Structure formats: C-alpha cells, structure tokens
Amino acid sequence: MTSPRFPFLVLSLLATASLVAGADVPSLRRHGTATQLIVDGAPFLIRGGELSNSHGEPDYLRASWPKLKALNLNTIVTPVYWDVIEPTEGKFDFATVDGLLADARTNDLRLVLLWFGSWKNSVSCYVPAWVKTDTARFPRARSSTGQALEILTPFAATNRDTDARAFAALMRHLRDTDAVHTVILVQVENEIGMIPEARDRHPAADAAFAAPVPPELMKYLEAHRETLAPELHDRWVAAAAHTSGTWSEVFGDGVATSEIFMAWAFGRYVEVVAQAGRAEYPLPLYVNAALIRPAYQPGQYPSAGPLPHLIDVWRAAAPTIDFISPDIYFPNFIEWADRYTRSGNPLFIPEALRSPDAAVNNLYAFGAGNGIGFAPFGIEAVGEPAASLLKMSNDLIRQLTPLITAHQGRGTMTALLPPAAEQRQPHAVAFGGLALSATYERLESPGLADGVINEAGDRSTSRALLPAGAIVIQLGPDEFLFGGIGVTVTFAAPAPGTPQIGILNCEEGRYFDGHWQHLRWLNGDQTHQGRHIRLEPGRWAIQRVRLYRYQ
C-alpha cells in the first residue's frame, strides 16, 4: 500500500482514515495488486450506467427508473449541476440531489455523482449565470489572439475558490443527509481539457509559463524517474532532464510542453476543489478524461486532462484525487483500458459507448483490468439489442461478483476479447500455466450440430452481429471458469514435449448467493468430443472445466 506507484491513492486513503476512523463511509482498499471499492464493509463492483447530461433531474428521470432497474444495474452515474444547486451566490438548493437520493434508495440503487462545476467537456457551460456574466471577477481562458473562450481560466484564484466552496457545500450536504451511503463515488469536474489550442493565453497563464516549473513537480519527477509514464519520461530526458528551469527549458518547446503545463494548472485547481470536498466528507474522488483520436495533437482534443501519458503530472498536482478514469468511445477498448492500469491506476470506466459490445467490454474491465466498475453512457436511452445483451451480461457479473472480488489482484483472472475487429487467427493467451487458444463467433449459430464451431466462417449478413467475449477465473490447478458469450477455447501445454492437455469434465451452471448450482454436464458435441469448451454465440453461459494431462 505504500508503493510509490500509488502516491495519490495512499495520501487519500490516509486522509480518509484520519477523518472517519471506524466509519463505514465508502472507501478504497488494496487487494493484492488491485484496488477495490469498499461499500458497507465489502468489495463492490459497479454495474453502472451513466445518464445523459440533461437527464439528472428527479422529475424527468423518474419514468426511467424501471428501465434502469431492469438492466441489472446496481449503480447510476448522474450529473449534479453547479448552476442548479447554487442559482444565487452563496444560497444553495439541493432539491435535485435529495430527489436523486430518494429515488435511488427506492429502487435499491447506488449513485456516482458527477460534479459539473467549472468544466464539462472543457467548456464552462454549467457554471451559474452569476459566474458567466461577471467576466471581470471570473476571468476566461484566452486564445493566442487574445479572444475570450467559454472556458474559465484555471489561473484565477477566484474561479477556483468559488467552485471549491460550492463543491464543499455539496459534500457537506451528502455527509448530513446520506447516512446509508447511497453515493459511493464522486467525480470532480468532467472531461477537463484545453481546446482549441494547447494552452491558455490569459496574461496570468503566460506569466506562469515563463516562470520556473514548480518545485513540487520537479521533486515528483526526480523521485519517480524510473516509473514515469514513458511519454513524460522521454520528453524530460530529451530536454536534458534538468531539475529546474522554465517549462520550455525542462520539457522543450512545442505543444506537448504546453499540454504538460496545462495539466499541472488544471490539476492544482482540482486539488483545491477536491480538498475542500474531502474536508467535509471523505468519499473516494476521481477525475475523468476525454480520449485522443488517432494522430490528434494537443489543442485538437481536450488537452491536458487526466490522460495516461499525463498521469504523473496529475498525481503530483492533485494528490487528493484517488484515481483517473477514461471515457471510452473508441473501438480500441482493450488498448485504452490497459493504458489506464499500466501504472497501478485503479480502473473505473464511467462512460462507454452503449453498443452491443459494451456487454463484453465490461467483462474485460473486471476480468483483465481488475476494475472497480463500468458504465455505458446515455443508459436511459439504450435500445435493442444492446439493452438485452447488457442486462444478461450484468446478471453474469452479479453472479460472479464474490469470485471476481476474491481473485482481483491475484493473477488468477483474465478476460478474452477479440484483439481486432476482424480477428481471423486464433487468439493465443498464456494463462494459468497453459496456452489458451480462443476463437470468437459473432454471429448467431448457423444451424450446425449443437456445440460445433462455425468452421466454415459463415458471415451471412442476414443474421445479427453479436458481441463475443469471456471472463476467465482459475479456480484451482487445472480448473477454470469461463463466463460469457461466443467464445471457443482449446487448451495446450505451454511448451512442446510436455504432457498434452485434455478435458476431464465440463459443466454448465449458475451461481446463487455465491454458491454454484449445477445445470448440466457437457460432453460429446458440446465439447466437440473433448477438443474444446464453447460458449455459444447468442447465449450467455457459465462453464466450469477441469483438465487433465496425458502422454
């Protein structure tokens, strides 16, 4: 727990312990190499869905609760709007928050609150009218031509402190009214970033850019030189790894340096806001990021947000923040999920594309990423077939939660997803001392014998394209659980010349209250006469397989 790879997590956990020793406030806890969210004293996996931006008002949302409940969710991710809760400066109205809390409790669901404060998708569109209209008191970021942007500059203390006061009021209200801990996480701001240029050109920003890099950041770089994100490390080293100097002297010239500079500025702003909230109520806090389109440069996307190549800047700038999160809308889901865990960052995906593939992407987040949770965006509007697939996938996660949480961070769990959209060759995975070979069927079964793989590669356009993926848990030596859809797996020894691997038995079943319930033994056609295990396309299943070795 004292690993330097978790500096901001460690500081936040210590702060939480000192403020509420013995209390059952939701918290984060290390489990092996993973981090778990603890709710009511037990590990909690967020089977979530995020509401659309304007769907978070109780009277408007109320009609959607039955649909949300039917998706087998246990958590709703919902915005809280600064302009709504503080319509007049210093006078707070928490009616919307209270309505969300009451309705969530009625439906036995938890909440993750998104603080739409100074920035939402880079822009300051949710700040109150009295902030928007007083640009002298609440200055804006500026472009290189001096034009004011619809973005509060992070270089103005008044902007920061006014946001911090409102966020503290929200957290204080939760502390006083949410004794049952309906709210389990809080996101500070939303998709922070600088656009359409790489850095703010407000006079205060220009002065800060010309000044020395703050000693707090330099000390962090020196202390964590060997574990820095490669992009940051390489840029620093390429500029001669100076231990002091201006931003250009330490990191070189260019838009990448501008992005590092802005990441520090945003992070320091967020730290003040987060500290104010944490002092009132020590719920876990995180920040989220809009990701980068291929080949885009800083300024073409919301630059300087909590992106993986900037994680060290954010850790140094905002130690009160517990982790950073990706909003994944791009098809390279595996790549982004892996980048957000590579330095020990806990994985929570608060926004994801609500496509049919969301139903297997969550398996990857939990199985391979040891994730805290997964939440498709615009969940109240999810349609078919994505809704039915997500419902069944969430039921599978619900059944497996005790196993998943027990195996997180132990190296005994992974997940299988197609590495590419048109994966033709078998997907080779080394796991549990074996060589697994996985193939993925994304079409409904073409009417072959029960259990037989679609060896002809039938890709008829008359059938729906389905997701394919599985979570894999090693239950013991040569004993594995596979849960998912559309995956066929064969087993081999890791090296030639060693005994061959056979299927001793395979059974399908379900978990009820953590206990395995056998449904049927699988053999013959179902295992292709002992050649493989198969999770059929179009049908979610859990199978437990025991292997044996022979020569």
What percentage of the chain has pLDDT greater than the value 70?
91
Least confident range of 247-251, 322-326, 460-464, 533-537: 460-464
What's the CA gap between 164 and 279, in Å, rounded? Answer: 11
Each residue of 406-464: pLDDT tens digit?
999 999 999 999 987 666 688 999 999 999 999 999 876 554 444 444 544 445 454 56
Sign of CA dihedral 154, 142, 312, 220: negative
Q: Are residue 28 and residue 86 in the same domain, yes or no?
A: yes
Confidence of residue 496 (pLDDT cuts 50, 70, 90): confident
Does residue 398 belong to any structural domain of this protein? yes
Mean pLDDT of 217-233: 96
Number of domains in the chain: 2
What's the CA gap between 451 and 433, in Å, rounded? Answer: 26
Q: Are residue 211 and residue 340 in the same domain, yes or no?
A: yes
Residue of 64, 70, 1 lying closest to 36 (CA atoms) = 1
Does residue 355 belong to any structural domain of this protein? yes
Is the pLDDT at 218 greater than 90, yes or no?
A: yes
Burial 434-462 (b: 16+ CB within 10 A, else e): bbbbbbbbbbbbeeeeebebbeeeeeeee
Contact assessment for residue 542 and residue 509, using Cβ atoms and an 8 Å cutoff: yes
Does residue 207 belong to any structural domain of this protein? yes
Confidence of residue 23 (pLDDT cuts 50, 70, 90): low
Choose between 421 and 93: higher pLDDT: 93
Does residue 2 belong to any structural domain of this protein? no
Q: Are residue 281 and residue 360 in the same domain, yes or no?
A: yes
The tokens for 211 are 């000044």
Contact assessment for residue 326 and residue 337, using Cβ atoms and an 8 Å cutoff: yes
Q: Are residue 310 and residue 396 in the same domain, yes or no?
A: yes
Burial 178-216 (b: 16+ CB within 10 A, else e): beebbbbbbbbbbbbbbbebbbbbbebbeebbeeebeee
* Residue 214 DSSP symbol: P
Is the pLDDT at 16 greater than 60, yes or no?
A: no
Position 448 scores a pLDDT of: 44
Does residue 219 belong to any structural domain of this protein? yes
189 torsion bin: left (phi>0), alpha (psi -120 to 50), beta (else): left
Position 465 scores a pLDDT of: 83
Does residue 1 belong to any structural domain of this protein? no
Q: Are residue 209 and residue 298 in the same domain, yes or no?
A: yes
Does residue 438 belong to any structural domain of this protein? yes
Mean pLDDT of 491-506: 90
Position 243 scores a pLDDT of: 94
- State the alpha helices, DSSP H only, in 281-325: 311-317
Cα torsion at 82, 189, 365, 542 (round to 10°)?
Answer: -10
The distance between the two most distant Cα atoms of the chain, rounded to a whole number of Å, is 81
Position 423 scores a pLDDT of: 61
Does residue 388 belong to any structural domain of this protein? yes
DSSP for 336-367, written as a single string: HHHHTTTTS---EESEE--STTHHHHHHHHHH
Mean pLDDT of 249-261: 97
What's the CA gap between 299 and 507, in Å, rounded? Answer: 54
Residue of 17, 182, 197 lying closest to 106 (CA atoms) = 182
Q: Are residue 328 and residue 447 in the same domain, yes or no?
A: no
Choose between 463 and 61: higher pLDDT: 61
Task: Pick the last residue of a domain from 388, 409, 430.
Answer: 409
Instruction: Give how far the C-alpha of residue 512 lies from the chain's centroid of Cα atoms, to the nearest Å.
Output: 27
Q: Are residue 333 and residue 470 in the same domain, yes or no?
A: no
Which CATH number belongs to the domain containing residue 389 in this structure?
3.20.20.80
Which CATH number belongs to the domain containing residue 478 in this structure?
2.60.220.20
Task: Pick the last residue of a domain from 383, 409, 435.
Answer: 409
Task: Pick the last residue of a domain from 351, 383, 409.
Answer: 409
Domain that holds residue 424: 415-550
Q: Say which amino acid occupies 484.
A: G
**Alpha carbon distances (Å) from 153 to 135, 214, 357:** 11, 19, 38
Q: Are residue 93 and residue 55 in the same domain, yes or no?
A: yes
The tokens for 331 are 């098809």
Each residue of 181-213: pLDDT tens digit?
999 999 999 999 999 999 999 999 999 999 999
Confidence of residue 288 (pLDDT cuts 50, 70, 90): very high
Q: Are residue 401 and residue 424 in the same domain, yes or no?
A: no
Q: Are residue 138 and residue 269 in the same domain, yes or no?
A: yes
Is the pLDDT at 484 greater than 80, yes or no?
A: yes
**Alpha carbon distances (Å) from 24 to 19, 30, 43, 179, 366:** 12, 16, 12, 10, 24
Q: Are residue 211 and residue 359 in the same domain, yes or no?
A: yes
Q: Are residue 402 and residue 528 in the same domain, yes or no?
A: no
